[in-house]
Amino acid sequence: MAKVIVVTSGKGGVGKTTTSASIAAGMALEGYKTVAIDFDVGLRNLDLVMGCERRVVYDLVSVVKGEASLRQALIRDKRVENLHILPASQTRDKEALDLEGVGRVVKELGTMGFDYVVCDSPAGIEKGAQLAMYYADEAIVVTNPEVSSVRDSDRILGLLDAKTQRAIEGREPIKTHLLVTRYSPARAASGEMLSVDDILELLGIELLGVIPESQAVLNASNQGAPVVLESETDAGGAYLDVVKRFVGEALPHRFLEPEKRGFFSRFFSPSPRSAFAG
Amino acid sequence: MGPMQAYEPDPTSETPALQLGGMVSTFTVVKIERADPAAVGVALQEMLARTPDLFEDAPVALDLSGIDGPTDRSVGEGDGLRVAARPSGVSLGDLVRALRAGGLLPVAVCDPSNRRRAEARALGLASLRGGGRRAHRGSETGEPATEDLSPVSAAGKALTLRHPVRGGQVVYAEGTDAVVLGPVNPGGEVIADGHIHIYGPLRGRALAGAHGDLEARVFCQRLEAELVSIAGVYLQAEQLPAPYRGQPAQVFLDGETLVVGDL
Ligand SMILES: Nc1ncnc2c1ncn2[C@@H]1O[C@H](COP(=O)(O)OP(=O)(O)OP(=O)(O)O)[C@@H](O)[C@H]1O
Ligand SMILES: [Mg+2]
């Protein structure tokens, strides 16, 4: 059975597609047979970030509609073995996707021997985002260190708890992970941005990792390569850590803030502390 | 089938055609704030979209003081001040139709003016003296509380939530207390007919005594609420007393005043 991971956020432009590309590529580097699915019908971004936009013939909608087989639509990455992309359509209507159709695709990917299915969600909390999360086993909630993004992530966490197949069937709830992206420790320290601590305080879920604000992300996406493939860069290295943590390696968090020594002892202290009392 | 037979008419029986006995209590009081049936309808739709089963076929009493001005009774008797109500132009019939279209069952009007009383009678609605929570203040003014408006007792088993109530989520503990084992986050809302206990920070909204229980309270480990309400009397974030912000607190009604106190 493939493990289905949704990368979601509520708010737009926070780094879902960047993350989906790097998580999928990183999983494949780790030896897992992985496919990244672009659920952002009408916008189509994932293929650009992954550098396969010229090889798109069929897409998720054509498979759901039965116009192409899954094998025809899947694009095999040229750099990383085990990595596949199921692109979105730029021309089709968002309404073309339905729950049953997506369910069939996810199931078939499982029978094809995929270990991980990474679903790149569109922004928002409406139908498109709900379709992308419906079959997920785990969710990576991408958050930027600003109030509106954190609030949206909170809403998305509510939907993950209520509107997914696992929730509706009363199965074990989706496992949720927090990924803080575009983080700048210095700006958090000066109070210009929320700190990781502030974000965890509100969302109360496990921290999967912190990706620093980095020029490397822009460079990589302009070249059509997931930044994780440039693991010597700060953001690339951070994404590789995230992938390794996801598959079970215990790695310390980086890019939090050098002088912020007491972070863990504070966050994991047993007594609830007040944001206003101290 | 059994119990149904009791209701079958039997002309030969000695039993009288009707019997008086028992009391059915509790209406939600709906305060109309705008003399515009269309706007009332829209507001109702929005409310129902958020909490579909909160008001489903709920019998409601209408409080028209928001559009007609207070009637003499609500100003207080014995102080010589009597304000004659001047009903707004909107017809009660139009308001009632808007509410029915939204799934409510208007059954009565609180403290109607003479003109509204006549309209209510024509529509088959009862006229209640001592609207909503004022019913209970009746005893303070030497008047018995109106039995019809006594609050629901929150008798059922509490609704326990083991997850945070997150932004956009609305939870309703119907006829009972709500216990939240975690935070209520900004944009999240907990509504209960009884008490609300939050074992975590209250950052969203908590509305206890939603069907008029004046004894209902809100308890939380950290008060950072956007809004707290007991039986329709509410405080917004900026109205919360500063010493309690971010602190453990309880919120309850003292007369018609909402009070924040130590936990
Ligand atoms: N860590 C980072 N440092 C700098 N720039 C970043 C970082 N992560 C993402 N970006 C940039 O932010 C922009 C939005 O990223 P991305 O497309 O991944 O977001 P998204 O959440 O998928 O957006 P949408 O909601 O539109 O689908 C892109 O220009 C991307 O290069
Ligand atoms: Mg995207």
Q: What is the pLDDT of residues A117-149, one digit of tens each?
A: 999 999 999 999 999 999 999 999 999 999 999
User: Can you tell me which residue has the tokens 């899947």?
Assistant: A74
Q: Residue B140 forms beta bridges with which residues?
A: none
Rounded Cα gap, residues B9 and A54, in angstroms: 80
pLDDT of residue A35: 98
Residue A90 in this model has a pLDDT that exceeds 70: yes
pTM comes to 0.70
Mean pLDDT of all residues belonging to chain B = 75
Q: Which amino acid is at A202?
A: L
pLDDT at B155: 53
Question: Pairing relation of β-strands B249-254 and B218-223?
Answer: antiparallel
Per-residue pLDDT, averaged over A101-106, amounts to: 96
Residue of A161, A202, A276 lying closest to B246 (CB–CB): A276
Q: What is the pLDDT of residue B90?
A: 83
pLDDT at residue B254, rounded to an integer: 94
pLDDT at residue B154 in the model: 42
* The amino acid at B100: R
- Cβ–ligand 1 distance for A17 under 6 Å, the answer yes
Report yes or no: A167 at the B interface, CB cutoff 8 Å: no
| Count of C-beta atoms within a 10 Å radius of residue B94 | 15
Q: Nearest C-alpha of chain A: how many angstroms from B238?
A: 15
A137 Cβ inside 6 Å of ligand 1: no
Chain A, window 143-162: residues with a beta carbon less than 8 angstroms from a chain B beta carbon: 151, 154-155, 157-159, 161-162
| CB-based contacts of A11, cutoff 8 Å, min separation 6 | A123, A144, A148, A149, A152, A153
CA distance A114 to A247: 15
Question: Which stretches of chain B drop beneath a pLDDT of 50?
Answer: 1-12, 72-86, 131-154
- Strands B233-236 and B227-230 turn out to be antiparallel
Q: pLDDT (tens digit, 9 = 90+) per residue, B103-138?
A: 788 888 887 777 788 888 878 888 777 543 333 322
Distance from CA of A271 to the nearest CA of B (A): 12
Q: If you average pLDDT over residues A37-61, what whole number do you get?
A: 91
Sign of dihedral through CA atoms A9, A12, A13, A18? positive
Q: Is a pLDDT exceeding 70 seen at residue A60?
A: yes
Share of chain A above pLDDT 70, in %: 92
The strand pair at B159-161 and B105-110 is best described as unpaired
Q: What H or E segment, with its residue span, contains residue B56?
A: none
Q: A230-234, A253-257, B44-48, B225-229: lowest mean pLDDT where?
A: B44-48
Residue A230 predicted with pLDDT over 60: yes
pLDDT at A278 over 50: no
The closest alpha carbon to B192, from B168, B146, B228, belongs to: B228
Q: How far is A70 from chain B (nearest CA, A)?
A: 36
Looking at per-residue confidence, does A252 or A96 come out higher? A252
Q: Which phi-psi region, left, alpha or beta, contains residue B118 (left: φ > 0; alpha: ψ -120 to 50)? A: alpha
Nearest 10 degrees: Cα torsion B172, B173, B175, B181? -160
Determine which of A54-58, A83-87, B45-49, B79-83 has the lowest per-residue pLDDT on average.
B79-83
Give the ligand 1 atom nearest the CA of A221. Answer: 31
CA-CA-CA-CA torsion sign (B124, B129, B134, B139): negative
pLDDT for the residue A43: 79
Which of A8, A17, A18 has the most ligand 1 atoms within 8 A of CB, as the residue to mutate? A18
| Cα separation, A125 vs B37, whole angstroms | 32
Q: Which residues contact B63 (CB under 8 A, 6 or more apart)?
A: B29, B30, B31, B32, B110, B111, B131, B132
A40 near A66, Cβ under 8 Å? no
Protein residue whose Cα sits closest to atom 9 of ligand 1:
A15
